[in-house]
Structure 1
Amino acid sequence: MKTKKFGNSNLETNPIIFGGNVFGWTLDEKESFKLLDELFEKGYRTIDTADVYSRWAEGNQGGESEAILGKWMKERGVRDQISLHTKVGADMGQGHNDISKSYILKAAEDSLNRLQTDYIDLYYTHWDDNKTPVEETLAAYQKLINDGKVNHIGASNLSPKRLKESLKAAEEQSLPKYEVFQQQYNLVERNDFEGAIHDICVENGVGVSTYFSLASGFLTGKYRKEEDFQGKERKGFVEKYLNRQGLEILDTLDKISETHQVSNAAVALAWLMHRPGVTAPIASATKSSQLQAFDEALNLNLSDEEMSKLNEVSKK
């Protein structure tokens, strides 16, 4: 499988990144191992997780996703073949986000232990605490990099102001630079990325990964009326899209997917893969059949007309 480089860095990624938020949440350990085995067999080697995954599931404390992934890599002996991405800074029970130096250094050790590895390929600032000086956060990453525990750093969900401050501090004070930015971006949520964040990333050679790339499953087309998501884990994420524009987007996806004989998810991912500034979308799956959409997206060539139709119907 061909790989792509994030921005101006030498960090490579699959064209689609697997989202590990499902491990320990909608998939138990046995189911996670089965899916990871199939993913690996298909050639996907870039996996995104976070220390806070899957804390929101009943009975979980956080770290479940990392622990499952770490156990799988250890048992299969494949750590050196995986580009491992994880994150720090989200509320792990302390009641607030934290990206102070002391917190990051401790959290990194916790993540390394759960992942059963001695290094992280890409370590993200997950959520800003909006108070720690950016220089302090970057200094923590500098130590982790110097110690060989982190190879590259990225950021997620920072405001344009804090992202610019971080990039400026990195350049002026010889601190590590955020080489990847992760932001929500999909056909029903375009505003968070398009505009200031997109421009900052392009101007500074920062690669981009997108989360909620399928809008928590809405863009697959399986949620079209209220009863479709009743009792489902993702109800709170997708019910807001069940409106006129959301249904028009699904209708457009239906037509394009029928033309190419692929799934709606494949079209939605292909659209992202061809959007300016995007390096690779992150997408999850819970069934073997859903992984087929990844392969379909990689081989799908959307015409200019089809891209224009998707761009137009998803404008707000």
Structure 2
Amino acid sequence: MKYRTIGTDPTTRREVSVLALGAMLFGSVTDEKTSFAVLDRYVEAGGNFVDTSDNYAFWTDGSQGGQSEELLGRWRRSRGIGDEIVFATKLGARPLAPGTGYTDNPEGLSVKVVREAAERSRERLGLGRIDLLYAHIEDATVDPLETMEGFGELVAEGTVGLLGVSNHAIWRVERARAVAAAAGLPGYEVLQYQHSLLRPRTDIPDALFPDGSLGGATAELRGYLRAEPALTLVAYSPLLRGAYVRQDKPLPADYDHPGTPPRLAALRTVARETGTSPNQVVLAWQLGGGLPVIPLVGMSSVAQLEENLAAVDLELSPEQRERLDAAH
């Protein structure tokens, strides 16, 4: 395994494995025995960066979520896991009532929610301190200073380490970081967005968030990362939920544009040249690129995990990387 530092403050920064494990469906779609087996093998291979959220996976049973955090708490206790594993979770998108969702009835990012939701997550996970806590989705009804003050209180108390932000418009990320800095508060240091080799269309509104706040790692976000080298991107759905390798998993509709076929062709050529799978090439492309990217991969079997782990040691040549970058 290889590792990367996230965060800048010596008291909160962590060394994390370059491949993060997504636990979104653990405890719901993925049963406990399988989830524990994947977690055990990930740790055995040197992995130490596990990602979840307080609302995972509410959509599977009409609940408010929490199944993933609860399973991770049971796994921690059964294995005697301490602070050697870095746990990241998120708040802000948990439905306020069963049968509702995060677009119509989210918990939001008020100072009250930040404190209460973080405490519930700590209890479910069995943690004294959450290593990395994200603002999951935007809350335009709350002043960003209030949200950052809420997060800052938890960091000052030692119940939260690093702060992250997911699925926000970049101008909102910058505004939140600016008001935090002006107030002497900790700011967001880790960004979590969808990012893969293929790029979605940008000329259609997002189906979930009409204001476009939820989406991929746009050119604007990539430029922001280049301008702010202290930030890290955790890239979710890097393998597009199996669409690169499975016929029964078609690409999402927003990838249906003229730039996709040549990029796929370049990917498949490089996979043949390296004797690896397209999935492994995509992960290696992210890991070895110029941006500070940590792929976040969910998996429902140890076999899938093994394939992804092998990508950590796959080195693409500069010429292969150039072909992947240039195809469009």
The TM-score with structure 1 as length reference comes to 0.89
Residue 309 of structure 1 deviates from its aligned partner by: 2.0
Q: Percent identity?
A: 30
Q: Which of 80, 83, 93 is matched with 2:83 structurally? A: 80
For residues 189 and 307 of structure 1, the distance between their equivalents in structure 2, rounded to whole angstroms, comes to 16
2:311 to 292, 297, 314: 297
What is the alpha-carbon distance in structure 2 between the residues aligned to residue 60 and residue 103 of structure 1? Answer: 18
Q: Using the alignment, how far apart are the partners of 1:189 and 1:295 within structure 2?
A: 24
Distance 1:215 1:18, change over 3 A: same
Please show how residues 261-276 of structure 1 align to structure 2 within 5 Å: 261-276=275-290
Contact 1:8 1:207 in 2 (8 A): no
Moved more, 75-84 or 195-204: 195-204
What displacement does 1:100 show?
Answer: 0.6
Could you say which residue in structure 2 is the equivalent of 1:149? 159
Q: Distance in 2 between matches of 1:199 and 1:79?
A: 37
Shifted more, 16-25 versus 251-260: the winner is: 251-260
Report the equivalent of 1:232. Answer: none
Separation of aligned partners in 2, 1:25 and 1:202: 37
Aligned AA for 2:75? W
- Partner residue in 2 for 1:11: 14
1:116 equivalent in structure 2: 126
Aligned residue pair count: 303
In structure 2, distance between residues paired with 1:27 and 1:257: 29
Task: Indicate yes or no: 2:124 matched with 1:100.
Answer: no
CA distance in 2, matches of 1:32, 1:55: 18
Task: Report the equivalent of 2:175.
Answer: 165
Q: Give me the whole-angstrom Cα distance separating, in 1, the residues matched to 2:224 and 2:278.
A: 31
Cα deviation for residue 3 of structure 1 reads 1.3
Q: State the TM-score, normalized to the length of structure 2.
A: 0.86
Q: State the alpha-carbon separation in 1 of the partners of residues 226 and 6 from structure 2.
A: 11
1:133-178 deviation line (CA, Å, top 9, x unaligned): 1111111111111221101111111111111111111221101111
Note if contact 1:50-1:86 (Cα within 8 Å) is conserved in structure 2: yes
| RMSD, aligned α-carbons | 2.1
Rounded Cα–Cα distance in structure 2 between residues aligned with 1:59 and 1:41? 34
- Quote how far apart the aligned CAs of 1:239 are: 5.7
Distance across 2 between alignment mates of 1:6 and 1:120: 14
Residue 30 (structure 2) aligned to one of 27, 30, 35: 27
Q: Distance in 1 between matches of 2:257 and 2:243?
A: 12
Distance in 2 (CA, whole Å) between partners of 1:24 and 1:239 is 29
Higher helix share: 1
Q: Which residue of 2 aligns with 1:128?
A: 138
1:26 is matched by which residue type in structure 2? V
Assess if the C-alpha contact under 8 Å between 2:54 and 2:94 holds in 1: no
Equivalent position amino acid for 2:235 in 1: T
Compared CA separation, residues 130 and 65, structure 1 to 2 (3 A): same
Tell me how far 1:187 sits from its aligned partner. Answer: 1.6
Aligned positions of 1:40-55 closer than 5 A:
40-55=43-58
In the TM superposition, 1:123-272 aligns within 5 A as: 123-189=133-199, 192-204=216-228, 205-219=230-244, 221-223=245-247, 228-229=248-249, 238=252, 241=255, 245-272=259-286
Q: Distance in 2 between matches of 1:195 and 1:96?
A: 28
CA distance in 1 between partners of 2:2 and 2:313 (Å): 12
- Cα distance in 2 between the residues matched to 1:243 and 1:174: 45
Structure 1 residue matching 2:197: 3-state secondary structure? coil
What's the CA shift for 1:272? 1.3
- Determine helix, strand or coil for the equivalent of 2:243: helix
Task: Tell me by how many angstroms 1:283 deviates.
Answer: 0.8
Cα distance between partner residues in 1 of 2:255 and 2:301: 23
* Contact kept in structure 2, 1:4 and 1:12, CA below 8 Å: yes
Contact kept, 8 Å, 2:7 with 2:162, in 1: the verdict is no
Question: Where in structure 1 are there 5+ consecutive unaligned residues?
Answer: 230-234
Alignment deviations for residues 229-259 of structure 1 (CA, whole Å, 9 cap, x no partner): 4xxxxx7x74654676545444332221222
Change (3 A) 1:58 1:242: farther
The residue identity in structure 2 corresponding to 1:3 is Y
Q: Which runs of 5+ in 2 are unaligned?
A: 98-104, 203-215
User: Residues 52 and 172 from structure 1, CA distance in 2 versus in 1: closer, same or farther, beyond 3 angstroms?
Assistant: same
Q: Distance in 1 between matches of 2:178 and 2:46?
A: 37
